Amino acid sequence: MTAGSKSYIFQGKLNGNVIRMTLGDIETMSLAEARDRAAQLRVQIREGCDPRQVKADVTAADASKRAKAQSGKAPAMDAWCEYVDIRRSAWGTRYLEQHEYMMAKGGEDKALHCTPGLYLFACLSELVHGTQGI
């Protein structure tokens, strides 16, 4: 909805305080749907629940559920790990260390876990790419 567009509004009282909520845009919601939604909100108020808080809780739970589902998905990292595992036996120690360094989680102090050669690799990477390697 844009500012100034016509919309259905619900108004009720909870503990003496006026509650106003936008139900929806008149272009996308029928009058019957708006009345049904208003009836649901009246029931919540009769039960002593603030409909605004109920909506915020549902939205937060949904966002949390989506974030949790998304956090388990890292197809690029899965492919990268598989790539390294397949080629691990053919690589030298230093080359493998460089790949493992690149696979490390962000935010960790990588300088504590690297060899002098790998530290040099990180510093050169920083110079070339303009990013902070360690």
Tokens of 124: 């050169």
pLDDT in tens, 63-83: 888 877 776 666 777 777 788
The Cα 128–Cα 125 span in angstroms is: 5
DSSP, residue by residue, 20-67: EEEEEETTTS-HHHHHHHHHHHHHHHHTT--HHHHHHHHHHHHHHHHH
d(C-alpha 131, C-alpha 129), whole Å: 5
Q: What percent of the chain has pLDDT over 70?
A: 72
Condensed to tens digits (0 to 9), the pLDDT of residues 91-120 reads 888 888 777 777 766 666 655 555 555 555
33-49: per-residue pLDDT in tens? 999 999 999 999 999 88
Q: Is the pTM of this model over 0.75?
A: no
